[in-house]
Amino acid sequence: MERKPLYSVLASLATSICIVILFYVLALQKLGSNPEAYIPVDMYAGMVYVFVLSMIVSASIWPGIIEKIMKR
């Protein structure tokens, strides 16, 4: 049974979640320093946007990496 697609999806999800957490921490710092600049909805919409973009990018990168690892 071929496991490369499963590993690619899991790696893409893990990467995207890490990037979203980093975005959330940085957005909280920005929100704390200037509360009038952004509302929490802006932050959550940005998290969704970052998640989608990072999934697109990581889904194009991880399959090649997984394939190289599994060939060894």
Domain membership flag for residue 7: no
Domain membership flag for residue 8: no
- Residue of 63, 44, 58 lying closest to 16 (CA atoms): 58
* Mean pLDDT, rounded, for 4-15: 92
Domain membership flag for residue 1: no
Confidence of residue 34 (pLDDT cuts 50, 70, 90): confident
> Has residue 1 got a pLDDT over 70?
no
Counting the structural domains of the chain, the total is 1
Domain that holds residue 56: 13-71
Model pLDDT, residue 28: 87
Domain membership flag for residue 33: yes
Domain membership flag for residue 63: yes
Domain membership flag for residue 44: yes
Domain membership flag for residue 48: yes
* Mean pLDDT, rounded, for 31-48: 84
